[in-house]
Amino acid sequence: MKIYISGLYSGTNPQPGIGIARSLRAAYPGATLVGVEYSNRCSGIHWQDFDEIVLHRPWDELNLDAHAREIKRVLESGALWVSSIDLEIMWFASLFPGGHPNLLTPSLAALNQVGKPAIPAHEYLPVKIPTFVTTELSDWDLHAFCREHDWKVWLKGPYYEAVRVHGWGGFQDMRSVLSSAWATEKLFLQSHVSGYEESISFSAYQGELLDCIRMRKRDLTELSKTWAGDVSEVEEEMLVPLREMIRRINWTGGAELEMVRDADNQLWLLEVNPRFPAWIHGATITGRNIPAALVEGASGVKAEESVATGEEFTRVVLEIPVRSEFPLSPLPEPFGGGIGHSLKHPSGLLQFANRLHKLDFDNGQVSNGNGSKSKNQPTIVPETFVDDLKEIDFSDMQTPASLFLKNTAADYFARAAALSKELSTDEIEVINAYSFKTNPDERLIKLAHDSGFFAEAISLLEVKKALAAGFKPEQIILNGPAKWWRRETLPDASFYTIFCDSIEELNRVIAEVESGELKTEFLGVRLRTPNIRSRFGIAIDTPETFEELLETVKRIPEECKFGVHFHMASANVGVGQWWHLFESILRWCGSIEALSGRLIEILDVGGGWFPEDLGRNSGEKFRKAIEMIPEFLPNVKRIFSEPGKALAQPSMAVAMQILEIRGQNDGWREVVVDGSIAELPMYFFYPHRILCQDANGGGWKSLNRGKTQLLGRLCMEHDIVASNVELPSTAEVGDILVFCDAGAYDRSMSYVFGRG
């Protein structure tokens, strides 16, 4: 019997070829095992169990037609072939769409049933699939997905590689790296599932399950790959549907179901690898030789019985002699000034992937989490954006220019005011407060004032501005770590609330209230709960601080009522995390009220909401939150909400003009605009929707993803105001581009730079 085994890479993220060979050697001592590789840097070619090694040229050099003929010849000769290279298996599936009796890999139809991330065949199994979206969605939608999943998301390549994404900047960088490496935009984002990793490995031949085992990871490499594990039987409740799934999709070959079991015992299926796992010989050690079952099932030749030498396995590192016929190659020269030798994927798999794209496998990659296909969808902007832009005369405009979207702003403020009214109950009044720092533009302040908002100020200069804008002192909430800056402007009136940022400040304010130097109806604290990275508020992460806080709160003069403030940007921590924080704050407040004896009568909850997050089901969520408050804090009379970012962000845009359109290089081109990151300082934190006019200077439409980079006017390397956008082919120098969503910190934190 002759068995070809391909995929012998044996680094820290190994292919399973060596494990398969060890297992088959144990089962078939007399068989001829032929190792197949595409790089002499794959150290598995030196493994002793192989009787022969066939070393092909790397995939990027390989003549695929000739190689296909050779494989057909091998299979026709009666030899079996077990592949452990995902891409090779896909290619085989295209060569043999209906399979070949001696080719022990799945057919194209079967592969399509297990393509990640959708894995259609999962429906047969008692598992769930973590939510995912294709990165072909608009940046605006991708950012929303990340917020919805609290930035606990993975960016995954089409075949291999997954990187954890922590923020928008990191996402953009990694998308660029993976897209470039795999020559495709078809990546996907998938939500993280916390839990313990376990796998099922099985072998099947023509739809019949031959053997399977369950393996729990017990030690991991830095890449979360198995280093040690325990092996056990697949439980009946999984085994029966697994057998059914294999029959339905007519599977042939080895496979691995990679799963996570969460704290509630739910299994989440991350991937189905169409091959044995690299740890497969670990199962053989425990007496379950899964590769041998495959060969026996396909050939009818009985395998030697496996002998269990343990129920658990682990790995060690071995040094072995190099085969004299395959001497080691020299190390490549490090790139000039570079670090390391860059030896990843030595067999040219990246280039092979590029060649495979042209075969256009439909393996579920381009569907989104709802199962619908979506390809380069245009970003949708509110109709009011377009209405506002129609009213603006761009002909004599000096760009870059900030645009006030009047109707949009009015609409957002009106909706916020209506929502607070709708959420108010007989017991609890919900009031909006406008955070002046978000954008101190007079037009927005007037809208806030006219909409019944309170004013939230972080300095006495902002207090002065609020008073000048018509807010009464009893409508002003003072916040922040340096709220007494410009003390000489302190008004001789009573504030509505002062929230202290430290125990030291609380002590000082108590003293000043007692002496009559300060007047305020409410005196409160801003809290920083454990497990939150923030520089603001009183950190109650030690029992000592907590006790000191309680003692200080007890000393707040009786004439002041007590309140608590918490603020965390939901756009940064994620929507779910924000709501958890809210509930966490309620618990802390309940403890503070019970232990200090001071009633909490107002609660101020910020903020940093993305407009869509505040709009999306927020009414229902806020209603539930308000219903929850009396359970923890029965004395709260007023809730302050700070939707400043959600209201200001969509209310302004930045108009930029194209200065230069450079020549194309492999479809990519650079375009210089007269705007810059000085006008869009939040560029690195979230995407901005970009509009351009159609060829006739008429309607506005949003830019899709494409191969153009918009370079800012500044002589700064990082002044790139948009990457991967698609400008219309008719775009010309002088055309206007409108960057939306620039009305919050983009506006208030914009700076003067490069203007002489």
Partner 1 sequence: MYLDAAKPAKETVVETNGNGFHKPAAVYEKWQDWYASEISHHGAMCCEIAREWITSTDFSELGGASILTGPRWLRLKFNWGASSFPIYWCEAVRKKTLDCGALAALASAIFTARGVKNYRVQMVQRFSEASTNQWSNSWNDTSEQLRWMNDDLIYHEGCAIAAGDGEIKIWDPSAGWWVDPKSKDGYGGLLAVRLSAFNLPADVNFTWGKHSLSAYQWTNIN
How many residues of this chain bind partner 1 (CB under 8 A)?
32
Taking CB under 8 A as the rule, does residue 235 contact partner 1?
no
Beta bridge partners of 604: 565, 640
The nearer residue to partner 1, 576 or 681, going by C-beta atoms, is: 576
Q: Residue 412: in which H helix or E strand, if any? A: helix 406-423
Q: By CB under 8 A, tell whether 232 contacts partner 1.
A: yes
Mark the segment that binds partner 1 (CB under 8 A) among 79-87, 113-121, 576-584, 721-729: 576-584
Query: Residue 260 or 419: which CB sits closer to partner 1?
Result: 260
State which of residues 225, 247, 580, 621 lies at the interface with partner 1 (CB under 8 A).
Answer: 580
Element (H or E) spanning 506, and its range? Answer: helix 503-515
By the rule CB under 8 A, 631 interacts with partner 1: no
* Nearer residue to partner 1 within complex by CB, 455 or 586: 586
Among 541, 660, 694, 732, binds partner 1 (CB under 8 A): 541
The answer to whether residue 544 forms part of the interface with partner 1 (CB under 8 A) is yes
* Site membership for partner 1, residue 583 (CB under 8 A): yes
Structure tokens that stand for 335 in this block: 């790139």
Q: How far apart are CA 689 and CA 746, in angstroms?
A: 13
Dihedral over alpha carbons 194, 686, 368, 581 (to 10 degrees): 40
The DSSP bridge pattern shows strands 720-726 and 704-711 to be: antiparallel
Of 265 and 665, the one with the shorter C-beta distance to partner 1 is 265
Number of H helices, E strands in the chain: 22, 31
**Which residues are CB-neighbours of 418 under 8 A, at least 6 positions away?**
none
Q: Give the C-alpha separation, 667 to 179, whole Å.
A: 15
Show the binding pattern over residues 307-346: x = contacts partner 1 (CB under 8 A), - = does not.
Answer: ----x-----------------------------------
The phi, psi pair for 585, rounded to 5°, reads -65, -40
**Segment interacting with partner 1 (CB under 8 A) among 110-118, 258-266, 322-330, 355-363:** 258-266
- Determine which residue in the list 79, 181, 550, 672 makes contact with partner 1, applying CB under 8 A: 550
CA-to-CA distance for 294 and 211, rounded, in angstroms? 8
- Look up residue 44 and give its DSSP letter: G
Q: Which stretch binds partner 1 (CB under 8 A): 172-180, 284-292, 484-492, 581-589?
A: 581-589
Q: Whose Cβ is closer to partner 1: residue 383's or residue 541's?
A: 541
With CB under 8 A as the contact rule, the residue among 59, 385, 546, 739 that binds partner 1 is: 546
533 binds partner 1 (CB under 8 A): no
Residue 555 binds to partner 1 (criterion: CB under 8 A): no
**Nearest to 722, CA basis, from 710, 708, 705:** 710
Q: How far is the CB of 529 from partner 1 (least distance, A)?
A: 4
Question: Which residues 127-186 are close enough to bind partner 1 by CB under 8 A?
Answer: 150
CA 293 distance to own-chain centroid: 40
Cα separation, 377 vs 618, whole angstroms: 25
What single letter denotes the amino acid at residue 291?
P
Which of residues 402 and 584 has its CB atom nearest to partner 1 in the complex? 584
Indicate whether 286 belongs to the interface with partner 1 (CB under 8 A): no
Which helix (H) or strand (E) segment is 691 a member of? strand 690-693
- Cis omega (within 30 of 0) on the bond before 481? no
Question: Is 283 near partner 1 (CB under 8 A)?
Answer: no
Q: Which CB atom, from 47 or from 566, has the smaller least distance to partner 1?
A: 566
User: How near is the Cβ of 624 to partner 1 at its closest, in Å?
Assistant: 15
Give CA–CA dist 592/610, Å, rounded.
30
- 395: contact with partner 1 by CB under 8 A: no
Cα 522 to Cα 496: distance, rounded to the nearest angstrom: 6
- The owner of tokens 């091998």 is 74
Largest Cα–Cα separation, the chain:
100
Based on the shown chain and the rule CB under 8 A, indicate whether residue 667 belongs to the binding site for partner 1.
no
Q: Which of 65, 264, 333, 360 binds partner 1 (CB under 8 A)?
A: 264
Using CB under 8 A as the binding rule, whether residue 194 contacts partner 1 is answered as: yes
Residue 304 in the binding site for partner 1 (CB under 8 A):
no
| Residue 125: φ, ψ to 5° | -105, 155
**Which residues, 6 or more positions from 23, have their beta carbon under 8 angstroms from its beta carbon?**
280, 281, 284, 289, 290, 291, 292
Q: How far is CA 131 from CA 468, 527, 575, 687, 717, in A?
A: 49, 33, 15, 21, 36
Please, which residue, 370 or 531, has the CB nearer to partner 1?
531
For residue 572, CA distances in Å to 141, 147, 506 come to 15, 7, 28
CA dist 246 and 252 (Å) reads 8
The DSSP 8-state label assigned to residue 716 in this structure reads: -
Task: Determine which residue in the list 265, 370, 515, 665 makes contact with partner 1, applying CB under 8 A.
Answer: 265
Q: Does 584 bind partner 1 (CB under 8 A)?
A: yes
* Residue 439 or 577 having the CB closest to partner 1: 577
Shortest separation between residue 108's beta carbon and partner 1, angstroms = 39
Q: Which of 486, 587, 624, 662 binds partner 1 (CB under 8 A)?
A: 587
The CA distance from 218 to 280, in Å, is 15
- 119 touches partner 1 (CB under 8 A): no
414 vs 594 by CB, closer to partner 1: 594
According to the binding rule CB under 8 A, does residue 547 interact with partner 1? yes
Q: Which stretch binds partner 1 (CB under 8 A): 13-21, 76-84, 435-443, 589-597?
A: 589-597
Burial class (CB in 10 A: 0-12, 13-18, 19+), 740: buried
Residue 543 sits in the site that holds partner 1 (CB under 8 A): yes
Interaction of residue 532 with partner 1, rule CB under 8 A:
yes
Q: Does 262 bind partner 1 (CB under 8 A)?
A: yes
Other CB atoms within a 10 A radius of the CB of residue 751 amount to 9
Q: Which of 91, 385, 522, 588 binds partner 1 (CB under 8 A)?
A: 588
Q: Which residues bind partner 1 (CB under 8 A)?
A: 150, 194, 230, 232, 262-265, 311, 529-532, 540-541, 543-544, 546-547, 550, 576-577, 579-581, 583-584, 587-588, 591, 594-595
